Structure 1
Amino acid sequence: MIRIICLTDVGLQLARRLQNALIANKAKSVDVCFKPNSFSETVQSFFQQGDRLIFICATGIVMRTLAPVIQDKLKDPAVLVLDEMGKFVIPLLSGHEGGANEFARQVSELLENQLVITTANSYLKPVYVVGMGCERNCPEAVLQTLLDECLLKAGLTFDDISAICSIDIKADEVGLMALAKSLHKPFLTFDANALGEMEARLSTKSDYIFKTVGVYGVAESAALYQAQQITNNSSELLLNKHKNKQATCAIARSYAQ
């Protein structure tokens, strides 16, 4: 869910324009909140349930309101701030890990305004890689649904992704091969020794997975490894491992010069 929160009539006009633009750009659910009752409690509730938030107001109001519920950059949802005239968009929280920088870029393109990114590496070109693991013979549709959910959480589209990756024992996994083919993306796999190099960057480690395939996490390791291979720079997790009953998915990012 995307929530656009505004406090003035001028801000409401911009909020409606942005809402229509996001929906036209295939955003699934966009809600405009004009002068919400119990402002702090309402906004904090949105934040804690993981909604992406776009504020049309002063940054100070946003920070004072969200300060009590901010956890860390790996858990908090993306938060953007716009001025009332719509001239600038600022990714305020979770710029890298929560996808706020990329989300702000999309908003900036829709409104044709100035993107203001203050986090490191904003002058470099980001490269995004999807890592996936799954049970044997997992259907393509199950994989597609999980990937759709993860891209939405990260604020990305299929066009942003450079490859879909996994461990080498999945090189013949029909569902993964079919998914990559249908999206016109390369499907790449790597052995456990290569993926083991990413161990220190994993968000979680599974002893069961390690005993089974030799790495502590397939999806995160594969995404991190390939992103680093593309740029020859260090990689990081943009979206930690998400899973359903049959598959896992993670998204990594690196920066190219």
Structure 2
Amino acid sequence: MSQNKSKIAIVSITNTGTKLGASVKKVLSDHDVLLYAPSRIADANVDVSIEKGEFTTTVQNLFTEMDCLILIMATGIAVRTISPVIEDKTTDPAVLVIDELGKHVISLLSGHVGGANEWTTQLSEQLGADPVITTATDTEKVASIDVLAKRLNAWYPNFKENTKLINRKLAEHEKVYLYVEDYFLNEIPTLNGFTKIPKDEISESDDAPIVIVSDQTDFEKHDNVIHVVPKLNALGVGCRKNVTYEMMQTNFALFMSMHHLAWDSIAVIASIDVKQNEAAIQYLANTLHAETEFHSAEELSEVDINYPSSEFVKKTVGVGNVASSSANFVSGNVVSIEQFKGKEITMALSHK
């Protein structure tokens, strides 16, 4: 599972189920987990008591608030309780059902995007239970495009239509071509079912769909291509004080265009801490739906030695190369392309 903490609610309705819930909570101790149970059976392990008549409302509220909902009860009760609040596979949380004896862990809802299949596999292994997973790609032991994209925090167009198309073909063992940039391969758990091709064969393929996993944009136009854009790049930015929004977006557009990079590939924008109130950096991050990180000169000096240094910049802020050092520091990798120097703005990029 992801290293980020998830919000998880465990709901039981019997004494036996509550004991199991406490065990499940221990297994998931790396996450933010709360155990719910009716007040009539609540014990010291229960975090939140559910008052009489509040069961349905409580579970439905948790459905909208949590990343994962684990229901220790009969599947029928679980289905009837959450059915009014189910909306869309792209937004619904993972929902698991476990029988009160812990013999079966069922991936009930949001198996791929919500991560229910992963939670089910993990809990089954740690509880010694049988996992019940019914999504076609998993039962056929092939990859799926939505899980691949989730691992890369990636975007691709027409999510529902393309997910249905590609996953159906993979499950039926039809041909689906795949090109992946080398630097993303380590992030993908499995490519089973895909037919990998090199970049120079993309235009030579037959009518089978082609999935391209790349942060680059210099691909020829093809009707059967689905371009998956991983959001894993770190953009380092150095700038003079009070640069305008127009200056920032113009320089960014030029930088990305020069290197044929997709705008949506930027996950984080980084700079030195003295720039944390720079409005244009915040504006760019907001435009790209990217996070921001600002680090001290002392921190950036750990990697600053790897890049050409400006004595003026070093005298001003304490390090000689803000853009490259910032990108390097937050990603843990050296910059992958030459630093861009625009008017009052520098930019560099590295892969996280």
> What TM-score range do you get, normalising by the shorter chain?
0.5 to 0.7
Aligned 1:170-249 pairs, distance under 5 A: 190-194=215-219, 197-199=225-227, 213=257, 215=262, 217-218=264-265, 243-245=290-292
- Partners of 1:76 and 1:3 in 2: CA distance: 14
- Partners of 1:86 and 1:210 in 2: CA distance: 54
Counterpart selection for 1:130 from 141, 152, 156: 152
1:95-143 Cα offsets, whole Å, 9 max, x none, are 111110011111111101100101111131547442579xxxxxxxxxx
Counterpart selection for 1:10 from 16, 20, 23: 16
Offset at 1:66? 0.9
Equivalent residue for 1:146?
none
**2:69 corresponds to 1:53:** yes
Task: Say if 1:91 and 1:101, in contact at 8 Å, map to a contact too.
Answer: yes
Equivalent residue for 2:186?
162
- Partners of 1:195 and 1:4 in 2: CA distance: 49
How many residue pairs end up in the alignment? 168
Offset at 1:89? 0.3
1:157-202 Cα offsets, whole Å, 9 max, x none, are xxxx8338xxxxxxxxxxxxxxxxxxxxxxx965313498435x78
Give SS of 2:90's match. Answer: coil
- Partners of 1:195 and 1:7 in 2: CA distance: 57
Amino acid at match of 2:24: L
Task: Say if 1:132 and 1:219, in contact at 8 Å, map to a contact too.
Answer: no
Task: Say if 1:4 and 1:53, in contact at 8 Å, map to a contact too.
Answer: yes
Higher relative contact order (CA 8 A, sep 6+): 1
- Partners of 2:138 and 2:94 in 1: CA distance: 16
Runs of 5+ consecutive residues of structure 1 not aligned to the other structure: 134-160, 165-187, 203-207, 221-240, 248-257
**Structure with more of its chain in strand, by fraction:** 1
Equivalent residue for 1:43?
59
TM-score, normalised to structure 1, is 0.56
Task: Say if 2:215 and 2:265, in contact at 8 Å, map to a contact too.
Answer: no
Q: 1:100 to 1:243 in 2, by over 3 A?
A: farther
- Partners of 2:116 and 2:15 in 1: CA distance: 26
1:195-224 Cα offsets, whole Å, 9 max, x none, are 98435x78xxxxx9999646473369xxxx
TM-score, normalised to structure 2, is 0.42
Task: Say if 1:2 and 1:51, in contact at 8 Å, map to a contact too.
Answer: yes
Q: C-alpha root-mean-square deviation of aligned residues, in Å?
A: 3.5
Amino acid at match of 2:110: S
**2:112 corresponds to 1:96:** yes
Runs of 5+ consecutive residues of structure 2 not aligned to the other structure: 1-6, 39-49, 156-184, 189-212, 230-248, 268-287, 294-326, 328-352
Task: Say if 2:67 and 2:114, in contact at 8 Å, map to a contact too.
Answer: no
Equivalent residue for 1:108?
124
